[in-house]
Amino acid sequence: MVLDLVTYPDPRLKQTSAPIEEMTDELRTLAADMKETMVAKRGVGLAAPQVGRFVRMLVVSLSETSDSEIPPQEYVLVNPVLTLGGEEKCSKAEGCLSVPMNFRADVMRKDLVTLDALDLEGRPIHMDFHGYPAFVLQHECDHLDGVLFLDRISRIRRTLYDGRLKKWLARKDGA
Ligand code: CO
Protein backbone atom coordinates (compact mmCIF):
# COMPACT_ATOMS: atom_id res chain seq x y z
CA MET A 1 0.00 0.00 0.00
CA VAL A 2 1.31 3.44 -0.91
CA LEU A 3 1.35 5.54 2.27
CA ASP A 4 0.67 9.26 2.74
CA LEU A 5 3.78 11.34 3.31
CA VAL A 6 4.29 13.74 6.18
CA THR A 7 5.56 16.95 4.61
CA TYR A 8 7.43 20.01 5.83
CA PRO A 9 6.58 22.16 7.78
CA ASP A 10 4.71 19.45 9.73
CA PRO A 11 6.34 19.58 13.21
CA ARG A 12 6.24 15.77 13.45
CA LEU A 13 9.28 15.70 11.16
CA LYS A 14 11.29 17.15 14.07
CA GLN A 15 10.50 14.17 16.30
CA THR A 16 13.22 11.70 17.29
CA SER A 17 12.28 8.10 16.47
CA ALA A 18 12.52 5.22 18.94
CA PRO A 19 14.78 2.17 18.51
CA ILE A 20 13.01 -1.02 17.44
CA GLU A 21 13.14 -3.62 20.22
CA GLU A 22 11.38 -6.45 18.45
CA MET A 23 10.47 -7.24 14.86
CA THR A 24 6.73 -7.69 14.49
CA ASP A 25 4.44 -8.51 11.56
CA GLU A 26 3.17 -4.96 11.80
CA LEU A 27 6.71 -3.61 11.25
CA ARG A 28 7.27 -6.03 8.35
CA THR A 29 4.08 -4.70 6.74
CA LEU A 30 5.27 -1.15 7.36
CA ALA A 31 8.60 -1.96 5.65
CA ALA A 32 6.81 -3.40 2.59
CA ASP A 33 4.52 -0.36 2.41
CA MET A 34 7.48 2.00 2.75
CA LYS A 35 9.28 0.25 -0.13
CA GLU A 36 6.16 0.52 -2.26
CA THR A 37 5.79 4.19 -1.35
CA MET A 38 9.46 4.95 -2.14
CA VAL A 39 9.15 3.35 -5.57
CA ALA A 40 5.79 5.03 -6.32
CA LYS A 41 7.16 8.47 -5.38
CA ARG A 42 10.46 7.84 -7.20
CA GLY A 43 12.59 8.38 -4.12
CA VAL A 44 15.94 6.76 -3.31
CA GLY A 45 15.15 6.55 0.38
CA LEU A 46 12.32 6.84 2.86
CA ALA A 47 12.41 6.92 6.65
CA ALA A 48 9.54 5.77 8.89
CA PRO A 49 8.84 9.26 10.33
CA GLN A 50 8.09 10.42 6.78
CA VAL A 51 5.01 8.20 6.89
CA GLY A 52 4.14 9.19 10.46
CA ARG A 53 5.74 6.22 12.24
CA PHE A 54 8.39 7.19 14.77
CA VAL A 55 10.54 4.06 14.75
CA ARG A 56 14.15 3.73 13.59
CA MET A 57 13.58 2.05 10.27
CA LEU A 58 14.26 3.16 6.73
CA VAL A 59 14.25 1.86 3.19
CA VAL A 60 16.94 2.86 0.71
CA SER A 61 17.94 2.06 -2.81
CA LEU A 62 21.73 1.88 -2.79
CA SER A 63 24.54 1.04 -5.16
CA GLU A 64 27.40 -0.71 -3.43
CA THR A 65 29.85 0.63 -5.97
CA SER A 66 29.99 3.66 -8.21
CA ASP A 67 29.77 1.24 -11.18
CA SER A 68 26.59 2.33 -12.96
CA GLU A 69 26.36 -1.11 -14.63
CA ILE A 70 25.29 -2.65 -11.34
CA PRO A 71 21.67 -1.75 -10.53
CA PRO A 72 20.96 -0.33 -7.08
CA GLN A 73 19.54 -2.68 -4.48
CA GLU A 74 16.74 -2.00 -2.04
CA TYR A 75 17.48 -2.40 1.65
CA VAL A 76 15.33 -2.25 4.75
CA LEU A 77 17.48 -0.97 7.60
CA VAL A 78 16.45 -1.37 11.22
CA ASN A 79 18.17 0.70 13.92
CA PRO A 80 20.82 1.99 11.49
CA VAL A 81 23.98 3.58 12.92
CA LEU A 82 26.50 5.41 10.75
CA THR A 83 30.16 5.93 11.47
CA LEU A 84 31.23 8.93 9.40
CA GLY A 85 34.63 9.34 7.80
CA GLY A 86 36.45 10.82 4.87
CA GLU A 87 36.23 14.40 3.70
CA GLU A 88 33.40 16.91 3.66
CA LYS A 89 31.93 16.85 0.18
CA CYS A 90 29.02 18.57 -1.46
CA SER A 91 25.97 16.38 -2.07
CA LYS A 92 24.71 17.79 -5.34
CA ALA A 93 21.12 19.06 -5.42
CA GLU A 94 19.76 17.06 -2.51
CA GLY A 95 15.97 16.77 -2.29
CA CYS A 96 13.46 15.01 -0.06
CA LEU A 97 10.02 13.45 -0.53
CA SER A 98 8.89 15.39 2.56
CA VAL A 99 10.06 18.77 1.25
CA PRO A 100 7.44 20.31 -1.10
CA MET A 101 7.95 22.05 -4.42
CA ASN A 102 10.77 19.66 -5.33
CA PHE A 103 13.17 22.07 -3.61
CA ARG A 104 16.81 21.04 -3.97
CA ALA A 105 20.00 22.30 -2.39
CA ASP A 106 23.61 21.28 -1.95
CA VAL A 107 24.54 19.98 1.49
CA MET A 108 28.02 19.39 2.92
CA ARG A 109 28.26 15.79 4.05
CA LYS A 110 30.94 13.24 4.87
CA ASP A 111 32.17 11.23 1.93
CA LEU A 112 32.50 7.85 3.68
CA VAL A 113 30.16 5.97 5.98
CA THR A 114 30.24 2.63 7.69
CA LEU A 115 26.71 1.35 8.15
CA ASP A 116 25.69 -0.94 10.98
CA ALA A 117 22.05 -2.00 11.06
CA LEU A 118 19.77 -5.01 11.25
CA ASP A 119 17.68 -6.41 8.45
CA LEU A 120 14.03 -7.45 8.83
CA GLU A 121 15.07 -10.86 10.15
CA GLY A 122 17.30 -9.28 12.78
CA ARG A 123 20.51 -10.23 10.97
CA PRO A 124 23.35 -7.70 11.24
CA ILE A 125 24.32 -5.59 8.23
CA HIS A 126 27.81 -4.08 8.13
CA MET A 127 28.80 -2.24 4.96
CA ASP A 128 30.90 0.68 3.76
CA PHE A 129 29.70 3.26 1.26
CA HIS A 130 31.31 6.25 -0.34
CA GLY A 131 30.01 9.18 -2.35
CA TYR A 132 26.34 9.31 -3.35
CA PRO A 133 25.03 6.30 -1.35
CA ALA A 134 26.89 7.65 1.70
CA PHE A 135 25.03 10.97 1.29
CA VAL A 136 21.68 9.15 0.92
CA LEU A 137 22.29 7.20 4.14
CA GLN A 138 23.19 10.37 6.06
CA HIS A 139 20.03 12.08 4.75
CA GLU A 140 17.78 9.16 5.74
CA CYS A 141 19.37 8.62 9.17
CA ASP A 142 18.93 12.36 9.85
CA HIS A 143 15.15 11.83 9.53
CA LEU A 144 15.30 9.40 12.48
CA ASP A 145 16.73 12.22 14.60
CA GLY A 146 14.20 14.79 13.42
CA VAL A 147 16.64 16.53 11.07
CA LEU A 148 15.86 17.61 7.50
CA PHE A 149 18.36 18.65 4.84
CA LEU A 150 16.78 22.11 5.20
CA ASP A 151 18.42 22.23 8.65
CA ARG A 152 21.82 21.83 6.99
CA ILE A 153 21.64 24.62 4.39
CA SER A 154 22.49 28.29 4.81
CA ARG A 155 20.06 30.47 6.74
CA ILE A 156 19.51 32.69 3.73
CA ARG A 157 18.55 29.81 1.41
CA ARG A 158 16.29 28.41 4.10
CA THR A 159 14.54 31.77 4.58
CA LEU A 160 14.04 32.17 0.82
CA TYR A 161 12.58 28.67 0.59
CA ASP A 162 10.29 29.17 3.60
CA GLY A 163 8.94 32.36 1.99
CA ARG A 164 8.25 30.69 -1.36
CA LEU A 165 6.66 27.69 0.35
CA LYS A 166 4.37 29.89 2.45
CA LYS A 167 3.03 31.55 -0.70
CA TRP A 168 2.71 28.21 -2.50
CA LEU A 169 0.80 26.65 0.42
CA ALA A 170 -1.50 29.69 0.64
CA ARG A 171 -2.31 29.40 -3.07
CA LYS A 172 -2.86 25.66 -2.72
CA ASP A 173 -5.21 26.10 0.26
CA GLY A 174 -7.08 28.87 -1.52
CA ALA A 175 -7.52 26.85 -4.70
CO1 CO B 1 14.23 13.00 3.10
pLDDT grade for 11, boundaries at 50, 70 and 90: very high
In a domain, 119, yes or no: yes
Is residue 136 in some structural domain? yes
Q: Which of 61-65, 83-87, 92-96, 113-117 has the weakest average pLDDT?
A: 61-65
Q: Ligand 1 mean position to 153 CA, how many Å?
A: 14
Instruction: Give a yes or no: residue 47 inside a domain.
Output: yes
Q: Which domain holds residue 52?
A: 11-174
140 is catalytic: yes
What pLDDT sits at residue 173? 81
Which residues contact residue 73 at a Cβ distance below 8 angstroms, ignoring those fewer than 6 apart? 61, 62, 63, 64
Q: Is residue 24 part of a domain?
A: yes
CATH number at residue 113: 3.90.45.10
Catalytic residue among 26, 36, 69, 140: 140
CA of 46 to the centre of ligand 1 (A): 6
| Local confidence band at 73 (pLDDT 50, 70, 90 cut-offs) | confident
Mean pLDDT of the chain: 94
What is the number of structural domains in the chain? 1
Does residue 18 lie in a domain region?
A: yes
User: How much of the chain is helix, strand and coil, in % rounded to 5?
Assistant: 35, 30, 35
Integer CA distances (angstroms), 153 to 40, 56, 61, 147, 160, in order: 27, 24, 24, 12, 11
Residue 95 lies in a domain: yes
In a domain, 34, yes or no: yes
Has residue 97 been placed in a domain? yes
Ligand 1 centre to CA of 4 (Å) is 14
- 43 Cα to the center of ligand 1, angstroms: 9
What confidence tens digit (pLDDT) does each residue in 105-131 have?
Answer: 999 999 999 999 999 999 999 999 999
